[in-house]
Amino acid sequence: MNGGNGIAIDVKGLTKSFGGREVVHDLSMQVKRGSIYGFLGPNGSGKTTTIRILCGLLTPDSGEGTCLGYDIRRDAEKIKRQVGYMTQRFSLYQDLSVRENLEFVARLYGLADARGAARDMIKRLGLSGREEQLAGELSGGWKQRLALGACTLPNPQLLLLDEPTAGVDPKARRDFWNEIHALAADGLTVLVSTHYMDEAERCHEIAYIAYGHLLTHGTVEQVIAKSALTTYTVTGEDLNELAAALTGKPGIDMVAPFGTSLHVSGRDVAALEAGIGPWRERSGLHWQKSSPSLEDVFIELMSRSRDNFQ
């Protein structure tokens, strides 16, 4: 295998600006072969730009690194042969049928038997009987499945998926993730950007990126532990009133309602406990110290980064 060191993506100091606005700032990351790496962050945080740099669609202003052992600046053509890139917007040909789209991709990559490869993929995707349907007429879930099929057709070593499950129903989303895990089990490396927390939790490793800065990375447990966030879960009556009272108080960094409970978090345990002190003993409220959820961590990171970078 190329590189052979067990690292699929290894980049340092990537920077990219558009029209004077820095979209990616000094970004470094490493992705292990065969792992599923989740890329999280608010809209416009530079996720898509980073993915495009990795697959050679954009040239970084500065920074360097390798993708599958190939230099991202010099060997873009070689990288393209081994990488499957699924764009955020459906980018297969809407006026071509399922079969024609797959055959087109198979031919472009020089598969010896393009028709056979397309036929096999149609079977694998469960699209038998629909091969002559135009891609533009498929439902959202099927489109996304077809797009994934087109990406994996030339047997890539790395999949770059840019918000692949946006706007797809939960069942299709679950199937999609089962598929991604199956592909990773076969040795494929997958870098996937998403907004969904449940999807983030299904990744082997995650990175959080906001305003072009990579803020934290690691396994889900590591990211939560690194955040040093303390969270209390409150249940009881008049939670809206409580939320309004607590927001902005010293020591309390974040207040977020979760269904019938309220998450109150702070970076400094002592300050947090001092802050919530007056309400701890109030009747009708039940306080419980809990570990923060991934979402708590991300929202806290996001609000902090907004202060720092905007």
Partner 1 sequence: MSALDHSAPAHEIRERFGFWKRSYAMLVKEFIQLRRDRVSFAMIVMLPVMQLMLFGYAINTTPRHLPSAVLLQEDSDLARSILKALENTAYFRFLYEVHDVDDFDNLLKSGKVLFGVEIPRGFERAVRRGDRPALLVAADATDPVAASSAIGSLGMVVQTALKHDLYIGDPPDMPFEIRAHARYNPAAASSLNIVPGLVGTILTMTMLIFTALSVTREVERGTMESLLSMPIRPVEVMFGKIVPYVLVGFVQAFLIIGIGVGLFGVPVLGNLFLLALLSTLFITTNLSIGYTISTLVQNQLQAMQMSMMFFLPSILLSGFMFPFAGMPAWAQYLGEALPLTHYLRIVRAIMLKGATMQNLRFDTLALAALMLLAMTIAVTRFRRTLD
Residues in touch with partner 1 (CB under 8 A): 52, 55-59, 76-77, 80-81, 83, 85, 87, 89-96, 100, 103-114, 116-117, 120, 123-126, 141, 145, 150, 153-155, 171-172, 175, 178-179, 182, 186
Q: How far is the CB of 87 from partner 1 (least distance, A)?
A: 5
Q: How far is the CB of 58 from partner 1 (least distance, A)?
A: 6
The Cα 212–Cα 194 span in angstroms is 16
Dihedral-angle region of residue 54 (phi above 0 means left; psi in -120 to 50 means alpha; beta otherwise): alpha
The Cα 219–Cα 206 span in angstroms is 6
Q: How far is the CB of 116 from partner 1 (least distance, A)?
A: 7
Q: Is the dihedral of CA 245, 251, 254, 260 positive or negative?
A: negative
Q: How far is the CB of 51 from partner 1 (least distance, A)?
A: 10
In the complex with partner 1, the residue whose CB is nearer, 153 or 254, is 153
Asked if 233 and 288 touch (Cβ cutoff 8 Å), the reply is yes
Q: What values do phi and psi take at 87, rounded to 5?
A: -75, 160
Q: How far is the CB of 117 from partner 1 (least distance, A)?
A: 4
Q: Which long-range contacts (CB under 8 A, 24 or more apart) does 101-107 make?
A: 101/135, 101/146, 101/150, 102/146, 102/149, 102/150, 102/153, 105/150, 105/153, 105/154, 106/153, 106/154
3-state secondary structure of 112: coil
In the complex with partner 1, the residue whose CB is nearer, 162 or 253, is 162
In the complex with partner 1, the residue whose CB is nearer, 92 or 301, is 92
Q: How far is the CB of 85 from partner 1 (least distance, A)?
A: 4
Q: How far is the CB of 2 from partner 1 (least distance, A)?
A: 15
Torsion of the alpha carbons at 37, 43, 49 and 52, rounded to the nearest 10: 60
Q: Which residues contact 303 (CB under 8 A, 6 or more apart)?
A: 253, 254
Strand order in the sheet with 189-194: 83-86, 158-162, 189-194, 36-40, 205-210, 213-218
